[in-house]
């Protein structure tokens, strides 16, 4: 099978960085046609810089990187420096990128690429707020039927929320965008907190990254060292959850993940539960399924894959 063409839409973020590295390390399965950036964990100038830092760390300075939306569709931006640090990539000391940003807006690029490729051949992988993807769908509704699949990180059911008691960060930042995406009719695979909170970088897994002994292995160990302090304090968990790499790992080894085809809707009105992913996990409504909502993963298989692939860079 030829590698799957994808666009990674991202707000790096240490876990975004690992997701990107995994994709760039896996050319047999994944062809990263571009990385598009969005404001989220940190503002857009930093996410679009961080994406290029990561491409250069991987030795892939030829991957096109575009800047996109600098704020949600209809709200003020909420960021997460309390988790990711001031730069969004706190932990390792990585050089500023030499590669330039591409000219043009990420949203226009996404539209162009979907129109230029045969229908059903480009997969979108959003691992930040869904602003760019929803804006593209709104601006060019014809692209919906051309998208092969959207495999995204966002939402939660059993884990409920991380940025509020009932909302996960990516969905909470731009709930209107998430609403557009979940109503788009495009096939969607969701990596919610329910699964990503099981992808924990324990001490032994962090040691395995460091033992790779390359700049990539060391940087990933340092990034996950930094990122873990937040979840350890908050949840008392064993280490940093690798949310976003679940998306790129799924593209390579879908057999590591299990979930249910269910209906998922987004709360956009309530002040109390804004950004909640109302997931009909138990099938208690008649609402039609619109997403494969992942609930579990083979964590050891996931970390073996990750360590083996990162060692290739």
What is the contact surface with ligand BDR in residues (CB under 6 A)?
A: 13, 15-16, 41, 80, 83, 127-128, 153, 162, 168-170, 243-244
Check residue 190 for interaction with Ca ion (CB under 5 A): no
Nearer of residues 196 and 206 to ligand BDR, judged by Cβ: 196
Residues with a catalytic annotation lie at 243
Minimum Å distance from CB 284 to ligand BDR? Answer: 26
Residue 88 interacts with Ca ion (CB under 5 A): yes or no: no
- In three-state secondary structure terms, 142 is helix
Residue 33 backbone phi and psi in degrees, to 5: -80, -25
Residues 4-43 touching Ca ion, rule: CB under 5 A, are 11, 13, 16
In the complex, the smallest distance separating the C-beta of residue 286 from Ca ion, rounded to whole angstroms, is 33
Q: Which partner from the list Ca ion, ligand BDR, none does 80 bind, CB cut-off 5 to 8 Å by kind? A: ligand BDR
192 makes contact with Ca ion (CB under 5 A): no
User: How many residues are present in the chain?
Assistant: 313
162 binds, among Ca ion, ligand BDR, none (CB under 5 to 8 A by kind): ligand BDR
Determine, following the binding rule CB under 5 A, whether residue 199 of this chain makes contact with Ca ion. Answer: no
Shortest separation between residue 72's beta carbon and ligand BDR, angstroms: 14
Residue 73 C-beta: closest distance to ligand BDR, Å: 18
Q: Is 275 in contact with 267 (CB distance < 8 Å)?
A: yes
Helices 245-252 & 299-310, crossing angle to 10 degrees? 90
- Please measure the distance between the N-terminal and C-terminal CA atoms of the chain and give it in whole angstroms: 22
- The option from Ca ion, ligand BDR, none interacting with 168 (CB < 5 to 8 A, set by class) reads ligand BDR
With 0-12 CB in 10 A as exposed, 13-18 as middle and 19+ as buried, what is 6?
Answer: buried
| CA gap 27, 4 in Å, rounded | 9
Rule CB under 5 A: say whether 128 interacts with Ca ion.
yes
Tell me whether residue 111 or residue 200 sits nearer to ligand BDR (CB atom): 200
CB 127 → ligand BDR: shortest distance, Å? Answer: 5
For CA atoms 85, 89, 92, 97, the dihedral sign is negative
Nearer to ligand BDR, 168 or 179 (CB): 168
What part of residues 239-258 is at the interface with Ca ion (CB under 5 A)?
244
User: Which of 149/194 has CB closer to ligand BDR?
Assistant: 194
Query: 165-170: long-range contacts (C-beta < 8 A, 24 or more apart)?
Result: 166/267, 166/272, 166/273, 166/275, 166/276, 167/267, 167/273, 167/274, 167/275, 167/276, 167/277, 168/192, 168/193, 168/275, 168/277, 169/40, 169/41, 169/80, 170/40, 170/126, 170/127, 170/128, 170/129, 170/130
Is 127 or 189 the residue whose CB approaches Ca ion more closely?
Answer: 127
Q: Cα dihedral sign for 55, 57, 61, 67? A: positive
Interface ranges with Ca ion (CB under 5 A): 11, 13, 16, 127-128, 244
């Amino acid at each position: 099978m030829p590698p799957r063409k994808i666009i990674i839409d991202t707000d790096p973020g240490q876990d975004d960085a690992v997701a990107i590295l995994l994709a760039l390390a896996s050319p047999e399965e994944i062809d990263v046609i571009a990385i598009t950036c969005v404001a989220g964990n940190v503002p857009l100038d930093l996410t679009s810089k961080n994406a290029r830092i990561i491409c250069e760390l991987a030795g892939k300075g030829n991957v096109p990187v575009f800047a996109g939306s600098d704020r949600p569709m209809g709200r003020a931006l909420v960021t997460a420096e309390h988790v990711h640090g001031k730069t969004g990539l706190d932990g390792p000391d990585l050089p500023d990128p030499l590669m330039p940003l591409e000219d043009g807006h990420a949203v226009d690029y996404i539209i162009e690429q979907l129109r230029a490729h045969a229908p059903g051949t480009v997969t979108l992988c959003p691992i930040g707020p869904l602003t760019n993807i929803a804006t593209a769908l709104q601006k060019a509704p014809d692209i919906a039927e051309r998208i092969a699949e959207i495999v995204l990180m966002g939402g939660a059911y059993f884990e409920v929320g991380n940025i509020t008691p009932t909302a996960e960060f990516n969905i909470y930042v731009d709930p209107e965008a998430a609403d557009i995406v979940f109503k788009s009719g495009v096939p969607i695979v969701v990596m919610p907190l329910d699964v990503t909170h099981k992808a924990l970088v324990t001490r032994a897994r962090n040691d395995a990254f460091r033992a790779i002994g390359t700049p990539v292995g060391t940087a990933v160990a340092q990034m996950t060292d930094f990122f873990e302090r937040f979840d350890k304090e908050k949840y008392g968990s064993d280490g940093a959850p690798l949310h976003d790499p679940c998306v790129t790992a799924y593209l390579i080894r879908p057999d590591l993940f299990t979930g249910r085809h269910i209906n998922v809707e987004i709360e956009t009105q309530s002040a109390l539960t804004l950004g909640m992913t109302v997931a009909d996990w138990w099938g208690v409504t008649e609402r039609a399924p619109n997403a494969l909502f992942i609930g579990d993963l083979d964590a050891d298989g996931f970390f073996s894959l990750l360590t083996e692939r990162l060692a290739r860079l």
